A and B are shown apart, each in its own frame.
Chain A
Amino acid sequence: MNEYEYISDYFNGLLSAGETARFDEKIQQDPAFAESVAFYLQAMQQVKEQVAEEKKKRFREVHEREKQRLEKGNVPLIFMRWKSIVVAAAVIMLCAITWLLWPAPTPASIADKYIKENFAELHVTMGKNDSTQTAADLYNKGKWKESLAIFEQLAAADSLRTTVIKNAGIVSLQIKEYDKAIRYFRQLESNARLTINPGKFYHALTLIKRNQPDDKQEAKQLLQQIVLQDLDGKEQATEMLKHW
């Protein structure tokens, strides 16, 4: 048996108990053999260290590669996060700026909005083909003064024609004849027979639009009455009072 085969078999546990004992004795008795054993162990250790060194070199490459891969993968992620943050911040800023710069609703702006949305057209009972219809048609065509002229004639002829009174007031309001409008709305307001009577609310709207001294205060009182008495226009009155 080759000397190294003998040494290798010993360290690999392939020798019998007797051979193992003799191996140990030989180390103590044969210096050349002991030297061979020492070299074998040292060589094995050296080879193992080389193996470890090469693996560590490979691990280093793997480590660097993984780091780069994660960094590459993270860039868009970080970018995406930053992008999201920037977008979110911009939206918040925009909202804040809008909130700060956007005029808060006032009784006047609510009144304007109401007039624009509700007084754009006048409606009369379908099928009617009388002066009321003519006045309404004129109003709807933007001929407010001609419309008012007819409504005034009709109102003067019959002060109980509530639709005529109401429309006369609306047209007067639109052409900024506020005193006249107030007169018509007061007239409407005083008609106790009506189940739906927006007279008081229209009166308040006109006062807000006229905006003379004490008009605001009076309008506020009217609106408060509307809310308290649960009259027509209560919803808008509440909104206006909220922004008073």
Chain B
Amino acid sequence: MNFPLRALHSGDQAIINGLVQAGTEKRKAEDQLFITYRYFIREGMQKYNLEEEDVFDAYSDTVLAAIDMIVAGSFEGRSSLKTWMFRIFQNKCVDLIRKKTTNKNSIHKTAPFSELLHKLSDASKTIVQQLVEKADADLLKQKLGELGEKCRELLMLSADGCTDKILAVQLAYKSADVVKTTRLRCLEKLRQLYKNLLPNE
């Protein structure tokens, strides 16, 4: 993946290069990104007068958002990684302060489906949103935990940005098509578990 990055610090560039890899390389780069700007936590505590635990959550969310955006190619390198991340972090802290009085847990979650839903027309969006609201998220979470380890791993790696092609190599599948078929079967299996159509594994 090519990033039109300008004058990035070599350490930042190494992190970005690692994030677009798979497996251990990606994990190392994620940890490195977290460690590199970990001092934001202290700054956030001082600047916003927040508890370490809260600022840690805001910072973790910042790192996760940054990873997603970097992997998706949204980070254009117009500013340094530090500046860019600090902006995200500040927003997370402000959100945290705003939402602290209402629902503390909700701040850790991204707006559900926002990225995917915008592809639908308004009419379809409304139908889907209503169906989603009726669904039992906790049950789905529980069933995901009951899904076999292999399926769970495949779905999670896919959701983490790994392409079927990468997963085929990483998980020793014959081809990307096999990965795709397996992944979608896992999704079907999850749905059957959710609808209580399958016995628990």
Chain A residues within CB distance 8 Å of chain B: 2, 4-5, 8, 10-11, 13, 24, 27-28, 34-52, 54-56, 58-60, 62-63, 66
Contacts and interface: CB of A to CB of B under 8 A. Distances in A.
25 contacts: A2-B184, A2-B188, A11-B116, A11-B119, A13-B119, A27-B120, A27-B124, A27-B128, A34-B127, A39-B191, A43-B140, A43-B155, A44-B116, A44-B159, A46-B141, A46-B144, A47-B156, A47-B159, A50-B141, A51-B160, A55-B67, A59-B31, A59-B34, A62-B35, A63-B38
B173 interface: no
Contact of A41 (B63, B128, B184, B191): B128
Contact of A66 (B38, B120, B144, B187): B38
B187 A4 contact: yes
Contacts of B131: 34-35, 37-38
Interface in B24-65: 27, 30-31, 34-35, 38, 41, 56-57, 60, 63-64
A27 B144 CA distance: 25
Nearest to A41: B113
Given A38-B131, A63-B38, A66-B35, A50 B116 contact: no
Given A46-B144, A52-B108, A66-B35, 7 more contacts: A34-B128, A41-B132, A43-B155, A43-B187, A44-B159, A51-B156, A51-B160
Contacts of B120: 24, 27
A8 B159 CA distance: 12
A50 B135 CA distance: 17
Given A5-B184, A34-B128, A47-B155, A63 B56 contact: yes
Contacts of B184: 2, 4-5, 8
B182 to A, nearest CB: 12
A34 to B, nearest CB: 5
Interface of B: 27, 30-31, 34-35, 38, 41, 56-57, 60, 63-64, 67, 108-110, 112-113, 116-117, 119-121, 123-124, 127-128, 131-132, 135, 137, 140-141, 144, 155-156, 158-160, 180-181, 184, 187-188, 190-191, 194
Contact of B123 (A28, A50, A52): A28
A43 B190 contact: yes
A122 to B, nearest CB: 77
A55 B30 contact: yes
Contacts of B34: 59, 62-63
A4 to B, nearest CB: 4
Highest count of chain A CB atoms <10 Å: which of B144, B156, B187, B191: B187
Nearest to A35: B131
SS class, residues of chain B in contact with chain A? helix
Contacts of A5: 180-181, 184
A38 B188 contact: no
Contacts of B60: 55-56, 59-60
Nearest to B121: A24
B107 to A, nearest CB: 13
Contacts of A54: 156
Nearest to B163: A12
Nearest to A21: B121
A208 B109 CA distance: 93
Closest 7 CB pairs of A and B: A38-B131, A27-B124, A47-B159, A4-B184, A56-B60, A48-B159, A41-B113
